[in-house]
Amino acid sequence: MDEAVPFRDRTDAGEQLADALAPLALESPILLALPRGGVPVAAPIARRLGAPLDVLLVRKIGMPGNPEVALGAVVDGQPPQWVVNEWLMAHARLPEDWFDAEMRRQLDELKRRRQRYCGDRPAPSLAGRDVIVVDDGIATGATVRAGLKALAATGLRKLLLSVPVGPAEVIDELSRAVDELVCLARPERFVGVGLHYRDFSQTDDEEVIRLLGQYGAQATGAGGG
């Protein structure tokens, strides 16, 4: 395969990651994929490890009037977790009760998205488990960074990040937020995730729902922790 394009598609990337993860001595592993593109990457790993697959849903809390500036993020879970940029919060001069109201709004959106992808299946308990976070690639790492920080507070046993590709500098930074990081390609000159795939066509909701139905906790018979 062309070294400049190491992955045929997301399934191939997931199979290569599964090869790297299979030798690890993981206890009661569970995969959390960032939708939508992370789910087809995680599916071959779930199959290889015999581990349940769920989604990691993250909603950014943007600055009023400048939503691209992240004050924090809320992360789906049992219970939900949130992370906050304390410096920004101290200097933002937010209207009274604004942050609490925005948090409730984003929690409602997380519930809507979980219902869409998982039906009535609740977010799994992560306590005591080896949690593998999966995406189809990392650019800035902002979303996964928020997710990792929130997951660290859930009582899990070990936190792993598994991605096919990401910029070397960002991957090095994220490695300090996890117990173990598996990344197959770490280019020094990084342009975009999609350039490392021959087929990087969009993953739709129906594909996410199908794969979660096939590899979710109920389908694998795995318990919630």
Q: What three-state secondary structure class fits 63?
A: strand
When pLDDT is averaged across residues 6-23 and rounded to a whole number, the result is: 97
Higher pLDDT, residue 94 or 51: 51
Q: Above 50 in pLDDT, residue 1? A: no
Helix axes of 38-49 and 10-21: crossing angle, nearest 10 degrees = 40
State pLDDT tens for residues 207-225.
999 999 999 865 544 444 3
When pLDDT is averaged across residues 146-150 and rounded to a whole number, the result is: 89
pLDDT at 217: 67
pLDDT at 223: 44
Residue type, 159: L
Mean pLDDT for the chain?
Answer: 89
State pLDDT tens for residues 156-204.
999 999 999 999 999 999 999 999 999 999 988 898 999 999 999 999 9
